[in-house]
Amino acid sequence: MATDVSEKQAEADWRVGLSDDQLKDILYKLKLCRYFDERIEALYRQGRLPGAIYSGRGQEGTHVGVAYPLGGDDSLFVTHRDLSAQFTKGLDLNRVMAQFWGRIDGYTRGRDGNSHVGDWNGKRTWTPVSHLPLAYPVACGAALAYKRRGEARVALAICGEGATSNGRWHESLNVSAVHRLPVVWVVNNNQWAYSTPNPLEFAVPTVAERAAAYGFPGVRVDGADVLEVYRVSLNAVERARSGEGPTLIESVSLRWRGHAGHDPAKYVPKETLDEYMQHKDPVKRFEELLLTHQVVDAEAVKGIQERIESEFDRGYEFAQASPFPVPSDVTKGLWVEDGYWQSEPSREGGTG
């Protein structure tokens, strides 16, 4: 009998309380983010995509894991590298694709590009600003609003480890502790801030231990293990929701691609890249885990992949068919009272 109990416990433990459907959903999201990132880069390199790209490849375990515990009313404050976290929160693939091509159906109606996308009124995600971590202080404000109204809601903010060198990162952590705000601070430590490695960004061994200086817990987690990231994030979200204040999560992975599309990232040692791609791939690792536990079989994995590819193709077609914004609307939408954002925009911009 004792064996049965511990087996049941072990079964319950590995899945962190998630149902089969939820586990399959996580696999779908991981694979969607990976596929989107790869296809977008291919289109960029073929010269078929205007603007820039900021790959989050290799960090899907962090992005999906931290965002998955959030409810619809919880807010997510991201950088332009965290599109995978926004997909996890439910952003619409078609509208994201329209955004990448500067079309009117993009979330910013062509006023911003690529992963500088957000959906505040829908999925409660911030439209990122390139200057980092500018969303950290803003997350304090959203969390303050929840606290003031006594709402059981949480703000979760993500930045890279490079942004922890910036003053406002420290300001935000300090203010969130002083006012005991319901916020979760995530640092996506992908080991390279553009070309700068961890030792040139901070002199402490980990980002997580800096939390002690502000008076709340810090946790370091392996970003290749999406369920472990999920578990840590869930605990932090519940802690914030119950009024116990902030938590700092450092999730460690590797940025597989350059800072942006133009950057070959030759500064990353080949052995490190090989190690991560072969042994610390969060998508592959989770897929194997679900196969081992027979939550999915090879046929089901194939089905998920086919669904993703067809969704991407539909998104691409949607984006190409969406009109450009009309040039005469360039000054509209600056002031709330001009009504631009409260009305349907012109669709006369053509798709040429």
Write out the residues near other proteins by the rule CB under 8 A: 75, 107-109, 111-112, 116, 118, 120-121, 127, 129, 131, 134-146, 148, 155, 167-168, 171-172, 174-175, 178, 333-337, 340-341
Name the minimum Å distance from CB 238 to other proteins: 20
Name the minimum Å distance from CB 140 to other proteins: 5
Q: Of the two residues 125 and 251, which places its CB atom closer to other proteins in the complex?
A: 125
Dihedral of alpha carbons 227, 208, 115, 38, sign = negative
CB count in 10 Å sphere of residue 179: 14
Residues 249 and 72: their CA atoms lie apart, in Å, by 21
Dihedral of the alpha carbons of 225, 229, 230, 233, in degrees to the nearest 10: 180
Name the minimum Å distance from CB 198 to other proteins: 24
Residues 328 and 317: their CA atoms lie apart, in Å, by 26
Name the minimum Å distance from CB 61 to other proteins: 27
Q: Of the two residues 299 and 337, which places its CB atom closer to other proteins in the complex?
A: 337
Name the minimum Å distance from CB 121 to other proteins: 7
**Token pair in block for residue 320:** 């190409």
List of residues 6+ apart from 125 with CB closer than 8 A: 75, 76, 77, 78, 86, 89, 91, 118, 119
Helix (H, G, I), strand (E, B), or coil: what is residue 221? strand
Q: Which of 40, 49, 78, 63 lies closest to 157 in space, CA to CA?
A: 78
User: Does residue 39 contact residue 20 with C-beta atoms inside 8 Å?
Assistant: no
Q: Which of 301, 288, 276, 207 lies closest to 247 in space, CA to CA?
A: 207
Residues 300 and 84: their CA atoms lie apart, in Å, by 22
Q: Of the two residues 267 and 335, which places its CB atom closer to other proteins in the complex?
A: 335
Name the minimum Å distance from CB 142 to other proteins: 4
Q: Of the two residues 14 and 120, which places its CB atom closer to other proteins in the complex?
A: 120
Name the minimum Å distance from CB 180 to other proteins: 13
List of residues 6+ apart from 217 with CB closer than 8 A: 211, 247, 248
